[in-house]
Amino acid sequence: MFFDNVILGLEVAMTWNNLMWCFVGVFMGTLLGVIPGIGVLAAISMLFPLTFQLEPTAALIMLAGIWYGTTYGGSTASILLNVPGTPSSAITALDGYPMAQAGRAGVALFMTTVASFFGGSVGIILLMGFSGTISQMALQFSSTEYFALMLLGLIAASGMSSGAMIKGLIMVCLGVLFGLVGADIYTGTRRFTFGLVDLADGIALVALALGLFGVSEVIASVGKISSKGIDPESVRFRAMKPTRDDVRRSWFPMIRGSAVGSFFGTLPGTGPSIAAFMSYALERRVAKDPERFGKGAIEGIMGPESANNAADQTAFIPTLALGIPGSATMALMLGALMIHGIAPGPQLMTDQPELFWGLVMSFWIGNLMLLVLNIPLIGLWVRLLTIPYQWLFPVILMFVCIGTYSVNNSSFDVLLVAAFGALGYGLRHLSFPAAPMILGFVLGPLMEEHFRRAMLLGRGDPMTFLERPISATVLMITAAILLWGLYGSMRKSGAS
Amino acid sequence: MKHQLTALMGAAILAISSPAFAQSYPSGNIQYIVPYPPGGGTDILARQLNDQIARQTGWNFVVQNQPGAGGSIGLDQLSRADGDGMTLGIGQTSNLAVNPALSPEVEYDPQTAFTPIALINTQPMGIITNADSAFADFGDVLDAVRAEPGSVLYGTPGSGTVSHMAIERLMATGDLEFEHVPYTGIAQAISDVMAGVVDVYVGSLPSVIPHVEAGTVRLLAVTSEEPHPLVPETPTVASFGFDGYQAADWKAVVGPAGMPAEAVAAMNEAINAALADDGLRAALEAQGSVVLGGTAEEFATFLAEEVADWAEVVSTAGLR
């Protein structure tokens, strides 16, 4: 039965029409992923009207191709320019950009493509073989469990960036505060909106990430234009070749990243961005020499890039197996089905096997296309660095503005990018790290949402966190990590 | 491509020669604001309707998605556009009736800032529970709430949504006390209903029907006045002793204030003609809609009632 379905899926995916739309999807996706700011939701939104004219399978294959294609392309700008191509690859900039500065941009781009393919493959295998089981498992996760997981992530990630711990904590808190802006989802009360309707839904992640990383990088480079020329050697094909050490260090991060990514992909409400953050935190936590992170550690790009691509694929599990779209983008995919009169829901897999299996098998084809498409392009992307900054940076700023605007068609968001760019520049001068701020911004509001909902569902009894087995286990692990960290720092201060 | 062009030209000639459209309206592309993101229920409805109008009249619509603040940002923008009829938009219960009463930042007055053009459709909310829940029907839910106020948790896709307001209206009418658990959208809420963590969930009928059909959840009641044609056996909330109770997500086409009467008439006629098309009608009904249509005056009267009704619910519940 399984192999019948696989063959059925291949038959559907291998028709010329579907192959073509798959290529269009992944090509557009990877291109839009490279361009900073234009994230997956904006890309899919723009191409959504096109799907009206397509038959539903082709439409979904194309939209899905854009979805995972952007994640492939997203790391490019993060690595080369310290400007995240998509929010889910913001974390890749932490170690990818130092690698590029050390003349190893080719290696970083090559290895992230491999990591992306690896993570994507793991995700597809899970999607093919275990959709039913995994979607049932995902149902076990309610707000109580989400809160415990987020807390684990935040604790594991504390001290995520290099530099003083206290500065990192301040930045996490600042991020949480920015995350609080907008309507309180429980009471509708407006928080820190200053009466502006544009702030009612809070600050857009894309504005914050692009401002802190991208725009501040551009500002900081003003006046340093002629300081460094690019080494022509690093553009050659040979420079893409990873060292034996690179390969050895990459295996476990890829496996761990794929596991983390697959897990967070299946949970509605999390997704590739959180998966990438969590994976980075995990790599730093398990590394023997965490001080290498933030200075071009290859583990710091391999984990997150496997994680976000794995999450991209497993995000289809709740969407297709339960009819529960985990994110706005997944909801859009189901919307494309509704247009064609197909009711998205738990029966999709049995009622529309051609569609389900055709789509799943197209993921293999799409991922292979991306691999083949991206590796030859690396040389071209790296050559971008040879463009003098006075030409390159204005273009980047333009794309940042277009990209931010396109998410909500909001000029207010463009102003926010400028404001966060200025803030990021100031913080950089005071050597406050930006990554913990983004972590606080993403996790803080989610933790609040889930804590308060868990308390509502638990009728105000905080014991609910310990009574539910999954949440209790996760909280115990969190406590163990916290105690271990405290013990370690106490011993260190005792010794000195 | 050539065929499309001929068809388009044919339609254009038809439109010019047809006496109803002999006026100068529209004088070009119609900008069309959808205050929600692409792919959502409102967006899909707007595009399906516009496609049908375009087929029948040859008019061209340029859809602009302007999401945010429960659909209020897009409508706010529409209210500031030129009232020449070349910028229109789609509004609904939330942004035309609920939000203005609920949200301090909404600056437009729904009755003076817009020109009502035509109602499109209405969808009730569905109240669902876990397949194995102890509640056999909606009567059991009401009994539980009456026996122990606040004992029933109800999930909704968010605070201030029509789903939330539907229960607030019920609580105001029936002196009942439910406990609200807002979610952010349907995904985790449905997951929690399927896991039995939350007692009932209130969401738009089309969003819950696939899960009802799969047998993972049960539909207890609908919030329309009459039983819904898609689920004729499901009782209405009103039938449990709440005469006149209804709560629905209706959608309508509006323009900025001060639109010329002939533009309103031409657009209203085009919408009604499109809604009379069997294909579009069937598509909308399959999605859980009851198709409305009607004159602009009827819509204006209806809007006035809804604005007053929801403002009363908001003030009774003390939500502002």
Which of A137, A143, A337 to probe by mutation at the B interface, max B CB count within 10 Å?
Answer: A143
Which of A47, A142, A446, A450 to probe by mutation at the B interface, max B CB count within 10 Å?
Answer: A142
Instruction: With beta carbons under 8 A apart, name residues in chain A contacting B40.
Output: 331, 335
Name the maximum alpha-carbon separation found in chain A.
70
Which of A453, A459, A464 to probe by mutation at the B interface, max B CB count within 10 Å?
Answer: A453
SS (H, E, C) B60-78: CEEEEECCCHHHHHHHHHH
Instruction: With beta carbons under 8 A apart, name residues in chain B contacting A141.
Output: 191
Q: What is the tens place of the pLDDT at every residue in A12-37?
A: 888 999 999 999 999 988 888 888 76
When pLDDT is cut at 50, 70 and 90, the band that residue B174 belongs to is confident
Phi, psi of A409 (to 5 degrees): 50, 45
Residue A4 clears pLDDT 80, i.e. is over it: yes
Nearest to A417 by CA among A266, A160, A204, A222: A204
Q: Which of B39, B65, B197 sits opposite A457 (nearest CB)?
A: B197
Give, for A183, the enclosing helix (H) or strand (E).
strand A182-183
One-character DSSP codes across A370-425: HHHHHHHHHHHHHHGGGS-HHHHHHHHHHHHHHHHHHHHT-HHHHHHHHHHHHHHH
Mean pLDDT of A310-316: 92
- CA distance to partner chain B, nearest, from residue A203 (Å): 11
> What ipTM, to 2 d.p.?
0.81
Instruction: Please give the pLDDT value at position B163.
Output: 95
- CA distance to partner chain B, nearest, from residue A315 (Å): 12
Residue A124 clears pLDDT 90, i.e. is over it: yes
DSSP SS3 for A191: strand
One-character DSSP codes across chain B: -HHHHHHHHHHHHHHHHSGGG-SS---SPEEEEESS-TTSHHHHHHHHHHHHHHHHH---EEEEE---GGGHHHHHHHHTS-TTSSEEEEEEIIIIIIHHHH-TT----TTTSEEEEEEEEEEEEEEEEETT-S--SHHHHHHHHHHSTT--EEEESSTTSHHHHHHHHHHHHHT---EEEE-SSSHHHHHHHHHTSSSEEEEEHHHHHHHHHTTSEEEEEE-SSS--TTSTTSPBGGGGT-TT---EEEEEEEEETT--HHHHHHHHHHHHHHHT-HHHHHHHHHTT-EE----HHHHHHHHHHHHHHHHHHHHHTT--
First to last CA, chain B: 54
Instruction: With beta carbons under 8 A apart, name residues in chain B contacting A318.
Output: 187, 191
The CATH number assigned to the domain with range B124-240 reads 3.40.190.10
Question: B187 and A48: CB-CB below 8 Å?
Answer: no
Residue B169: CB partners within 8 Å, gap ≥ 6?
B245, B247, B309, B313
Q: What is the tens place of the pLDDT at every residue in A196-233?
A: 888 888 898 888 888 888 888 888 877 665 445 555 55
Q: Which of B39, B65, B210 sits opposite A346 (nearest CB)?
A: B210
Nearest to A326 by CA among A273, A364, A280: A273
- Interatomic CA distance for residues A447 and B139, integer angstroms: 36
Residue B17 clears pLDDT 60, i.e. is over it: no
Instruction: With beta carbons under 8 A apart, name residues in chain A contacting B67.
Output: 408-409
Superfamily of the domain at B2-123+249-316: Bordetella uptake gene, domain 1 (3.40.190.150)
Instruction: With beta carbons under 8 A apart, name residues in chain A contacting B104.
Output: 190, 195
Question: Residue type at A482?
Answer: L
Q: What is the mean pLDDT of chain B?
A: 89
Instruction: Please give the pLDDT value at position A159.
Output: 56
Alpha carbon B174 to chain centroid, angstroms: 24
- Interatomic CA distance for residues A11 and A16, integer angstroms: 10
Instruction: Please give the pLDDT value at position A456.
Output: 93
Nearest to A119 by CA among A301, A319, A292, A334: A301
Residue carrying structure tokens 């399978």: A57
Phi, psi of B194 (to 5 degrees): -65, -30
Q: Sign of torsion, CA B80 B83 B84 B85?
A: positive
Instruction: With beta carbons under 8 A apart, name residues in chain A contacting B159.
Output: 183-188
Q: What is the tens place of the pLDDT at every residue in A66-94?
A: 989 988 888 888 898 888 878 788 889 98
User: Pairing between strand B248-256 and B114-130?
Assistant: antiparallel
Question: A323 and B210: CB-CB below 8 Å?
Answer: yes
Residue A301 clears pLDDT 60, i.e. is over it: yes
Q: Are B187 and A326 in contact (CB under 8 A)?
A: yes
Residue B22 clears pLDDT 50, i.e. is over it: no
For residue B82, CA distances in Å to B78, B85, B253, B260, B265 come to 8, 8, 16, 11, 18
B161 CB-side CA count, 13 A: 22
- Interatomic CA distance for residues B238 and B242, integer angstroms: 4
Question: A52 and B160: CB-CB below 8 Å?
Answer: no
> Percentage of residues in chain A with pLDDT exceeding 90?
31
For the entire predicted model, the pTM comes to: 0.83
Q: Are B185 and B232 in contact (CB under 8 A)?
A: no
Mean pLDDT of B126-135: 94
Residue A400 clears pLDDT 90, i.e. is over it: no
The segment with the largest mean pLDDT, out of A268-272, B121-125, B210-214, is B121-125
Q: Sign of torsion, CA B204 B208 B213 B218?
A: negative
Q: Are A233 and A282 in contact (CB under 8 A)?
A: no
Question: Residue type at A397?
Answer: L
Residue carrying structure tokens 């290895």: A111
Q: How many CB pairs under 8 A join A and B?
A: 150
- Interatomic CA distance for residues B42 and B45, integer angstroms: 5
One-character DSSP codes across A199-213: GTT---HHHHHIIII
Instruction: Please give the pLDDT value at position A492.
Output: 66
Question: Residue type at B249?
Answer: D
User: Structural domain boundaries of chain A?
Assistant: 2-457
Q: Sign of torsion, CA A469 A471 A474 A479?
A: negative
Alpha carbon B18 to chain centroid, angstroms: 32
One-character DSSP codes across A226-291: TS-PPPGGGGSGGGGPPPHHHHHHHHHHHHHHHHHHHHHHHSTT--HHHHHHHHHHHHHHH-S-GG
The vertex-A407 CA angle with A402 and A408, nearest 5°, equals 110
More confident residue, A485 or B126: B126
Q: Are A32 and A66 in contact (CB under 8 A)?
A: yes
- Interatomic CA distance for residues B48 and A353, integer angstroms: 27
Which residues pair with residue B217 across a beta bridge? B130
- Interatomic CA distance for residues B314 and B303, integer angstroms: 16
Question: A346 and B211: CB-CB below 8 Å?
Answer: yes
Structure letter (DSSP) for residue A182: E
> Percentage of residues in chain B with pLDDT exceeding 70?
93
* Residue in A closest to B210 by C-alpha: A345
Instruction: Please give the pLDDT value at position B13.
Output: 45
Tokens standing for residue B141: 């839910």
Q: Are B41 and B206 in contact (CB under 8 A)?
A: yes
Residue B15 clears pLDDT 50, i.e. is over it: no
Instruction: With beta carbons under 8 A apart, name residues in chain B contacting A345.
Output: 210-211, 213-214
Instruction: With beta carbons under 8 A apart, name residues in chain B contacting A331.
Output: 39-40, 185, 187
Mean pLDDT of B57-80: 90
Residue B141 clears pLDDT 90, i.e. is over it: yes
| Count, residues in chain B | 320
The vertex-A61 CA angle with A60 and A65, nearest 5°, equals 115
Q: Sign of torsion, CA A65 A68 A71 A72?
A: negative
Compute how many other C-beta atoms are within 10 angstroms of the C-beta atom of residue B211: 27
Instruction: Please give the pLDDT value at position B106.
Output: 87
Mean pLDDT of A156-181: 78
Residue A326 contacts B, CB cutoff 8 Å? yes
Which of A40, A41, A46, A48 to probe by mutation at the B interface, max B CB count within 10 Å?
Answer: A48
- CA distance to partner chain B, nearest, from residue A469 (Å): 14
Instruction: Please give the pLDDT value at position A374.
Output: 87
- CA distance to partner chain B, nearest, from residue A426 (Å): 30
Which of A134, A185, A333 to probe by mutation at the B interface, max B CB count within 10 Å?
Answer: A185
Residue B159: CB partners within 8 Å, gap ≥ 6?
A183, A184, A185, A186, A187, A188, B180, B182
Q: Which of B48, B107, B190 sits opposite A324 (nearest CB)?
A: B190
Give, for A190, the enclosing helix (H) or strand (E).
strand A190-191
| Count, residues in chain A | 496
Question: B187 and A45: CB-CB below 8 Å?
Answer: no
Mean pLDDT of A100-112: 89
